[in-house]
Amino acid sequence: MDDFSRINEILENSKTIIVAGHVNPDPDCMGSALAVCSILRSMGKDVTLYRSDKYPYNGDFLENSGSATEIVPDFEPDLYFILDSATPERTGEAFFAKMSVSKSRKILFDHHWHQNTDFYDAEVSDESASATAAIVWRWAKDLGHKLTKGEAEDICFGIFGDTGGLRYASTDKESLFIVSELAEIINYGEFCSQFFETLPENWFAMFAEVIQSMEKFRDGKVVFLKTTLEQLERFNLSIDEIDPFVEEIRRIKSVRIVFRIREVEPGKLWKFSVRSKGDIDCLPIARKFGGGGHKNAAGFTFYGTLEEGRKAVAEIAEELEL
């Protein structure tokens, strides 16, 4: 069991708290942050939730999903409580600029690989945790806190995000146990429907187009997928909505690893998402390009043209042991 004593000690001496996650928040980031906010509020804390970007579209049903501010708070809190962010910089440029010069205390719950740093006054980082939301659950247990339905949904949302609804290799005994416990608090069928069955119809139209243009290497074991800003606009979709494309491609039998390149700034700045199956480790690939993540799910930023991005994938595909 993790040691939360230092975390709880710091919390005892903190009244105003800013909670934040990472840029382009995924369901784990969102669910963890919402659950932590709710638990802190039940402890009588004065909590402000910050998000650098829009939350995932399918999290709208979560209690307090609309409570986050996208404006960096202008006050100095007693404490910064950061979730699911491998590096402090990943909280976002504007937020990090404020937090990094602040003398307030800072704590972290995370499950990404990261270099040791003394940035935080206390942290619980467990790379073996299926999701940061699982660490939030452990913390709630440690506190003896009885989860509300809303908090249980937040935690389930986080675990579902990082395990693909308990399907990915990241699913472990603990995540299965946690969800089985949460199922006694939430309406599980309704939750699954909210999580999986709320896609906008246009999603399928754009997905069809993206599949048409996908490229295969090594007998279809490696797939290169691209999405452009023009497509997002034409199909009226946001990046949180098209994020699952890369996961869907992994469902193709022949596929071992998928590279999705997403245009961020026209023709020169891209975001890569990498997803792999089984023993294929995409973390070293992401780290080589200055990114991070996990064994079967990682990402990095890429500066260059689309053709250069494609070439990078073709080269990696050649070298990979598949």
Mark the segment that binds Mn ion (CB under 5 A) among 75-83, 134-142, 162-170, 296-304: 162-170
Query: What single-letter DSSP state applies at residue 228?
Result: -
Contact pattern from residue 30 through residue 69 relative to Mn ion, giving x for each residue in contact according to CB under 5 A and a dash for the rest: ----------------------------------------
Residue reference for tokens 């004593």: 5
Q: Among all residues, whose Cβ is closest to Mn ion?
A: 28
Q: How far is the CB of 300 from Mn ion (least distance, A)?
A: 16
For the bound state, the minimum distance from the C-beta of residue 90 to Mn ion, rounded and expressed in Å, comes to 11
Instruction: Give the tokens for residue 101.
Output: 């010069």
Minimum CB–partner distance for residue 214 and Mn ion (Å): 26
* Residue 134 vs 222, nearer CB to Mn ion: 134
Whether 292 and 86 have beta carbons less than 8 Å apart is answered as: yes
Count Cβ atoms below 10 Å from residue 68 Cβ, excluding itself.
Answer: 21
Q: Specify the amino acid at residue 273.
A: S
x/- map, 120-159, Mn ion, by CB under 5 A: ------------x---------------------------
Positive or negative, the CA dihedral 287, 255, 279, 181 is positive
Cα–Cα distance for residue pair 201/196, rounded to 1 Å: 13
When the beta carbons of 126 and 281 are compared against Mn ion, the nearer one is 126
Least CB distance to Mn ion at residue 110 (A): 8
Q: Is 162 in the site for Mn ion (CB under 5 A)?
A: yes
Q: How far is the CA of 189 from the CAs of 19, 28, 65, 167, 193, in angstroms?
A: 30, 20, 20, 16, 6
Nearer to Mn ion, 84 or 240 (CB): 84
Q: Least distance (Å) from Mn ion to the CB of residue 111?
A: 6
Considering the complex, state which of residue 38 and residue 125 has its C-beta at the smaller distance from Mn ion. Answer: 125
Nearer to Mn ion, 157 or 235 (CB): 157
* Min dist. Cβ of residue 20 to Mn ion (A): 14
Decide whether 84 or 153 has the Cβ nearer to Mn ion.
84
d(CA 195, CA 71): 27
Exposed, middle or buried: residue 156 (CB in 10 Å: 0-12, 13-18, 19+)?
A: buried
Neighbours of 182 (CB within 10 A): 23
In DSSP notation, 122-162 reads EEEE-TTSS-HHHHHHHHHHHHT----HHHHHHHHHHHHHH
Q: Which span (20-28, 75-83, 117-125, 194-202) binds Mn ion, by CB under 5 A?
A: 20-28
CB of 321 to Mn ion, least distance (A): 27
Give the footprint of Mn ion on this chain (CB under 5 A). 28, 84, 132, 162
